[in-house]
Structure 1
Amino acid sequence: MPEQIGSEDSLYVEIGSDVLDAVVNPPVELTKEKKAIFRWTEDKLVVGAMDGARVMSVTQTIESDEFDIYQVDLEDEELPIGVACGKVANLLEEADSNDTIKLELCNDTNKLDLSFGEVSYSLAPKEISSINEPPQNEIDHEITVWTHSGVFRRSNKILSMADEEIVFNFTDDGVYVSASGDADSAEINLEASDEDNQDGADIVFDEKKKELQARFSSDYIEYIPKFTPNGLFKSNFDSKNPLEINTRRVEEKILTQIRLAQRLQPEG
């Protein structure tokens, strides 16, 4: 059964089609059901997505100032609405990149109305309990660096041919990404620098260098360039904890946090 929305809740917003398209992209890419919970408050929208295996999550926050119009008046602190992001993505394929998308809560029908140009579509809310959401806990990390998006793109394209496990190696001599399978092996040496000299760097250290290895599945590394801007963004690495990336997308309108769990190592 679809979720019931409070009869006193009021929601009307207008947002660029490029922004909304970027918001629904992670749920469409990561989840089999292509659904996500849109958590509306009176000053922001938060949308989280997590794959079924709970390996990768993406949390997106859009402040009210980033909307063209943001009129949200709620009974409670927040209004969660389960949204069929796959349907939204299909609708946005018919919108121009500069179109304004209108979203309005209709209390009479218990639906979220989406419209642009000559198109209007009423979305029935999806059951919230069936949708995975990312955890909001803080995680400690051993290394914080600025990583170029091209590092993940090249790592997936080249190293995944050798093995499904991609290893980030931080050593005293430098930083490299490697993969070693039963037959092939490959390595990419990264251009590292400090924060005072970022030109052409793959990795920029924000603090003192440490030695560690972090291991990830190439199946998930391939998503990172899709959910990040082209350029440098803050990346937090650890020998055990998930990789955490914090960045902004679509002209810095969408605050984005990505977490990718490490591959488990066999004991012994």
Structure 2
Amino acid sequence: MFRAIISAEILQDAIKAASSVVDEARFEITPEGLSTRAVDPANAAMISLELSKDAFVLFEGTEGEIGIDLSRFTDILGMAGKSDEIELKLDPDTHKLDISMGGFSYTLALLDPSTLRNAPVVPALDLPAEITISENVFKRMIKAAEMVSDHMSVGVQNGIFVMEAVGDSDHVRLDLTGSDLIAITPADVKSLYSLDYLSDISKGVGGAGEITIHLGRDLPVVIQFEFAVGECTVKYVLAPRIESD
């Protein structure tokens, strides 16, 4: 059983975060809320998303699992205004999701969870550097880096957070320290990542205000943020790009 009412803005932001990495996802329903863990087809990027029952105006759910085509769901949610409330109800007979908002009623055919990839295990990583920056700074650097390269190095050098992209002829670098940062736990680390994936992740970071980045040396990066007054938590894990000699 599942029935819920939630702010359109919160649900739109949550689905946008998930769809930045995968097109389809298995969502686990529990009495405590909704959650999903999914990895992209190339096994390079993973998302873990938890939407607490307290993020909802109303939440009624028992243990279960549903599969959602995120592209179709996003299109439907796009019909709602940010101030609207969306009602979701699982039809136990048809196993379809009934969606009501702003006078509209939709029925979304769900995917069979057994046909989707199993939820990945969130890896345990030793990432000594932790940096918290504003969402806007992160997005601006990704946009600037895309103009010169298809990859970007991210690291900490002598307590300075550095994001740098080097192309065939162009170069862009951003150094952040002191008041430029919201917080930092420094460690000398550096890793290289695909800008295609970082760009997709940056599009999923909506309404967060700030993000926290966990870094190691030549290790996956963990990018975390919260919204809905902390009731929705999102964690991305992105594998580093390994360059051949």
TM-score of the pair, normalised by structure 2? 0.88
- SS of equivalent residue, structure 2 residue 180: coil
Amino acid at match of 1:265: E
Q: Give the Cα–Cα distance (whole angstroms) in 1 for the partners of residues 43 and 137 of structure 2.
A: 23
Amino acid at match of 2:201: I
Match for residue 183 of structure 2 among 189, 204, 207: 204
Match of 1:98 in 2: 83
Amino acid at match of 1:243: V
Amino acid at match of 1:260: L
- SS of equivalent residue, structure 1 residue 263: coil
**Are 1:243 and 2:205 an aligned pair?**
no
Q: Give the Cα–Cα distance (whole angstroms) in 1 for the partners of residues 203 and 228 of structure 2.
A: 12
Match of 1:169 in 2: 155
Q: How does 1:146-225 map to 2 (within 5 A)?
A: 146-172=132-158, 174-190=160-176, 192-193=177-178, 200-202=179-181, 204-206=183-185, 209-225=186-202
From the CA coordinates, give the structure whose radius of gyration is larger. 1
- SS of equivalent residue, structure 1 residue 248: strand
Q: How does 1:1-268 map to 2 (within 5 A)?
A: 10-31=1-22, 34-73=23-62, 78-132=63-117, 133-172=119-158, 174-190=160-176, 192-193=177-178, 200-202=179-181, 204-206=183-185, 209-228=186-205, 229=207, 231-266=209-244, 268=245
Shift of 1:230: 5.2
Deviations 1:139-164 (Å, cap 9, x if unpaired)?
A: 22121221332342232222222221
**Between Structure 1 and Structure 2, how many residues are aligned?**
243
Q: Where do 4+ consecutive residues of structure 1 move more than 6 Å? A: none
Q: Give the Cα–Cα distance (whole angstroms) in 2 for the partners of residues 54 and 26 of structure 1.
A: 17
Q: Give the Cα–Cα distance (whole angstroms) in 1 for the partners of residues 139 and 145 of structure 2.
A: 10
Q: Give the Cα–Cα distance (whole angstroms) in 1 for the partners of residues 234 and 41 of structure 2.
A: 20
Q: Give the Cα–Cα distance (whole angstroms) in 1 for the partners of residues 159 and 236 of structure 2.
A: 28
The percentage of counterpart residues that share the same residue type is: 23
- SS of equivalent residue, structure 1 residue 168: strand
Gaps of 5+ in 1: 1-9, 194-199
- Contact kept, 8 Å, 1:179 with 1:187, in 2: the verdict is yes
Gaps of 5+ in 2: none
- SS of equivalent residue, structure 1 residue 26: helix
Deviations 1:65-99 (Å, cap 9, x if unpaired)?
A: 211111113xxxx3110012222211222222122
- Contact kept, 8 Å, 2:5 with 2:59, in 1: the verdict is yes
